[in-house]
Structure 1
Amino acid sequence: MPHYTLAQTDLIIILVYFCIVLAIGIKVGTEAKGTEDYFLAGRSMTWPFVGISLFASNISSTTLVGLSGDAYATGISVFNYEWMAAIVLVFYAVFFLPMVLQSKVYTMPEFLQRRYDARSRYFFSGLTLVGNILIDTAGALYAGGILLKMIFPDIPLWQSILVLALLAGAYTVAGGLKAVIYTDAIQTILILIGAIIVSILAYRKIDGWEAVTAVTPENMLSLIQSADDTTLPWTGLVLGVPILGFYFWCTNQFMAQRILSAKNIQHGRYGTLLAALLKLPVLFIMVLPGSMSRVLYPDLPNPDQVYPTLLFDLLPSGLLGLVVAGTLAALMSSIDSTLNSASTLVTMDFIRQIRPQWSDRTLMWAGRLTAFIFMVLAAAWAPYIENFSSLFQYLQNILAYIAPPVVAVFILGIFWRGATATAAFYTFIVSLGISFYLIISPIDMHFLHVAFMLFVICLIIMFIISRLTEKPNLQDIAPYLWKIRRLQEESVELELLPWYQNYRILAALLLVLTIALVIVWR
C-alpha cells in the first residue's frame, strides 16, 4: 500500500494552481456588467467551452472517485451511465436544445413556467436546489474530502470538506458562470492528462490484462448484466438509466446552464455533442483502472479509496502534484457549477420575482450571497455521505426519487400539446408524497426499477388530470412544443453545410461509435 504523502514540490504545484484559478475568478468577476454576464456568461460561449464545461462539471461527481470505486467493487457495468449519457445528449441536441435556447430563459424552471405556470416553476426550482445541495455539491465535496483525508490523515473529514468548499466558493462567488467555464477548460486538461497517465501506469504495473481476468469474475468485466443483478440489471439499464440521464443532462440547472450560455443554437449543439463524445473514453481512463486495482490493491476497505490510492502509488513527485491538482480540479468543477446554478435559481426564480425593482447589480450581489450560503450548507451535509456504501450509489439512489416527475413533466410538455399546467403541478405534488413514503418504507426493488415505476405513475397522473382540466392556449405554448416542421426547416439549412458541420451526421456517427463500444464490452 502506498504512503499518502505529498512532497514539497507537489504542494507548491497545487498551491500555484489554486492561485491561478482564484485570480481568473476575481478578474472575470470585475468584468461582469449585469445578471446575464454573471449568471449566463453573457450568452457568448462558443462550442468548445460549452462542451468542455459540460464534461468537466459532470466528471467530478460521478467519475474519478465514484466510477473507479464502483468498478473495483461491482464491475464495469457502472460505465453504462456514461455511454447512455451520450445517447441522451444526442436526443437533447436534436429535439430539446433549440426550444430552450430560443426561449432566452435564465433557468430551466423558468422554461417550465413558460410551458405551464408559476406553480411548476417554483416547485421545480426548489426541488433542484435541494438536489444541488444534497447530491451534486455535497457529493463532490465528499469525494474531495476523501482525497485530502488520505493525504492529511490527522485532519478530520469535515475540515477537509470545508477547505474545498471555501476554495471553490471563492472564485465562483466572485466570477459567476464565465469564471466557472474558463476554469473548467483548464481543469479538463488536467483531468484528462492525469487519468490517461494513471491508466497507462496501472496497466504497465499489472503486466497485462490477463492479470485482471484472473482475479475478476467474468460478469464484472461486462457492461450488460442479468435481470437479477443487484448493481445494474439490464432491465434497469433500459428502463431507469435513461430517466436519470434525461433529468441530469437535460433539465438539471447545474448542467443546462452551460448550454444556456451558448452564443447560438449551432454552438449549443456542437458543444453538447462534444460533451457526449468525451464521455466514451471514460471507460478506459476512469473505469478500467478500478478493475486493474483489484490486482494491485485487493484489500482496500473502501472502494472510494481506489483512485486516490492509484495516484499515490504510481506517480512520482512533481507529476503527482500536477495530477492531484487535476483531481481536485475535477471535484471543484462540480462544486463551482452547482454553487453557480443554485445562486442563479434563487436569484432569478425567487428574488427577482419578489423584488422586480432591484437593479442588475443588486441581483448580482444577491447571487453571490446565495452561492456562499449554499456552499456552507453543502459542506455541512457532505460528511454524512460516508454512511452510504459508495459515493456513486449515493448519487444514483437519490436521483431515482427526484428525476421521474421532472422527466415526465418535461417530456409530455414538449411532445404533447394537451399537457396542462394543473396536471404538471399535481404530478410534482403526488410524486413527492410517493417518494417520501418509499424512502420511509422502502420496497424490495432496485432503485432503477423504482425510478421507472415512478415515471410511469407520473405519466398516468399527467394524462388523467390533463384530460380533466382546461386545455392550455395553443398560441401561448407553441414556442415550447416540438414540431416535425422544425426538422424540415433545418434540413434546408443543413444542405448548405459540409458534412462535418452537419450536426445530424455528427450525431449519427456518435451513436454508431457508442453502440460499437457497448457491443465490444457487452
Structure 2
Amino acid sequence: MEFSIWDTIIFVSYGLIIVTIGLWVSRGKGETSEAYFLAGKSLPWWAIGASLIAANISAEQFIGMSGSGFAIGLAIASYEWMAALTLLIVGKFFLPIFIEKKLYTIPEFVEVRYSTTLKSILAVFWICLFVFVNLTSVLYLGATALDTIMGDGSGEIFTYCIFGLALFAATYSLYGGLSAVAWTDVLQVTLLVAGGAVTTWIALSHVTESGGVLDGLAEVYEKAPEKFSMILDKGEIITPNNKDAWWDLPGLGY
C-alpha cells in the first residue's frame, strides 16, 4: 500500500492537533490530585461520557476484536455488554461514595479501607498488568497497523511505530492528567466512531455486486447466520484453528 504525501500530511496534522489540544487544556492547572485525576471537577457530562467510550476503543477493538469477530462472530461483543453494566453500577452506587470521601484512585480506597501495604501491592500489580498486558497488546496491534499502512508489512518500521505510539500518548496524557485525556478523547471518539461506521459501510457495500449496504448485510447473514449469535452453544462456532469457540466464550446453560 502506497502512503501518499496527503496521507502523511493528514497523519502528522492529526498528531499535532491532539498534542496541542492536550497541552492547551491542561495549562495552568493545579498540581493537586483532584486537578490531575478529576480535572478539577470541571468536565461536562458529555466530555466524561465521550472519554469513557474513547478509553475503551483502541487498536485492540479495531484490529484485535475485528479478527475475533471474523473467527467467532458477534459473541465477542459480550465483553462490552458486561462493561456497560459494570459502568452503570459503578456510576450509580460507588462513584458518589468515592467523590464524597475524596478518593480518586482505587489504591487510595484500598489504603483507607484496608492498609498501606495492600495498597502498594495492588498498585504494583496493576502497573505490571497494564505495562505487560494492556499496553503491550495495544502498542503491538497499533504498530502492526502502522507498519502495514506506512511500510510494507515486513516489520521494518515496526519497532519505531511502537516507540512512536508510546511517546505520542505520553506527550500530553502524563503531563495534563484527566483534563488532557478527556478533551482529546472528545475529538478522538468522534473520529473513531465515524471511521468505524464508514469502514463498515464500505465493507458491506463490496459484499454483493449490487453495492447495497443492506444487500451486503443480508448476504452475510445468509451465508454465516451462526456468526450473529451473542451467546454460543457448544460446537456452534468452530474457529479457523479448529477450536470450539464456546471454550473462549461459554454460554449460560453449561
Q: Alignment identity in percent?
A: 33
Q: Is the 8 A contact 1:61 1:136 kept in 2?
A: no
| Distance verdict in 2 for CA 1:95–1:173, change over 3 Å | closer
**Structure with larger Rg:** 1
Is 1:209 paired with 2:209?
no
Structure 2 unpaired stretches of 5+: 209-215, 236-245
Q: Is the 8 A contact 1:74 1:231 kept in 2?
A: no
Is 1:28 paired with 2:36?
no
Match of 1:175 in 2: 176
Q: What is the CA-CA distance between 1:49 and the residue it aligns to?
A: 1.2
Looking at structure 2, the residues matched to 20 and 156 of structure 1 have their Cα atoms a distance apart, in angstroms, of 24
Once the two structures are superposed, the pairs formed by residues 418-497 of structure 1 within 5 Å of their partners are none
Match of 1:79 in 2: 77
- Please state which structure has a larger fraction of its residues in helix: 1
Q: Is the 8 A contact 1:148 1:160 kept in 2?
A: yes
Structure 1 outlier segments of 4+, above 4 Å: none
Match of 1:134 in 2: 132
Aligned residue type for 2:31: G
Q: Is the 8 A contact 1:74 1:220 kept in 2?
A: yes
SS at match of 2:62: coil
Q: What is the CA-CA distance between 1:6 and the residue it aligns to?
A: 2.6
Q: C-alpha offsets along residues 305-332 of structure 1, whole Å, 9 cap, x if unaligned? A: xxxxxxxxxxxxxxxxxxxxxxxxxxxx
Looking at structure 2, the residues matched to 40 and 139 of structure 1 have their Cα atoms a distance apart, in angstroms, of 27
SS at match of 2:182: helix
The CA RMSD measured in Å over matched residues stands at 2.1
Once the two structures are superposed, the pairs formed by residues 214-363 of structure 1 within 5 Å of their partners are 214-216=222-224, 218-227=225-234, 229-235=246-252
Match of 1:16 in 2: 13
Aligned residue type for 1:211: E
Match of 1:158 in 2: 159
Q: What is the CA-CA distance between 1:71 and the residue it aligns to?
A: 0.6
User: Under a length normalisation based on structure 2, what TM-score does the superposition of the two structures give?
Assistant: 0.84
Looking at structure 2, the residues matched to 230 and 5 of structure 1 have their Cα atoms a distance apart, in angstroms, of 40
Q: C-alpha offsets along residues 85-113 of structure 1, whole Å, 9 cap, x if unaligned? A: 22222222232222122121131111112
Match of 2:241 in 1: none
| Distance verdict in 2 for CA 1:81–1:128, change over 3 Å | same
Aligned residue type for 1:179: A
Match of 1:45 in 2: 43
User: Under a length normalisation based on structure 1, what TM-score does the superposition of the two structures give?
Assistant: 0.42
Q: C-alpha offsets along residues 382-428 of structure 1, whole Å, 9 cap, x if unaligned? A: xxxxxxxxxxxxxxxxxxxxxxxxxxxxxxxxxxxxxxxxxxxxxxx
Q: Is the 8 A contact 2:25 2:183 kept in 1?
A: no
Q: What is the CA-CA distance between 1:209 and the residue it aligns to?
A: 2.5
The number of residue pairs the alignment matches comes to 233
| Distance verdict in 2 for CA 1:33–1:93, change over 3 Å | closer
Q: What is the CA-CA distance between 1:214 and the residue it aligns to?
A: 4.9
Q: Is the 8 A contact 1:76 1:223 kept in 2?
A: yes
Q: Is the 8 A contact 1:145 1:161 kept in 2?
A: yes
| Distance verdict in 2 for CA 1:95–1:61, change over 3 Å | farther
Structure 1 unpaired stretches of 5+: 240-522
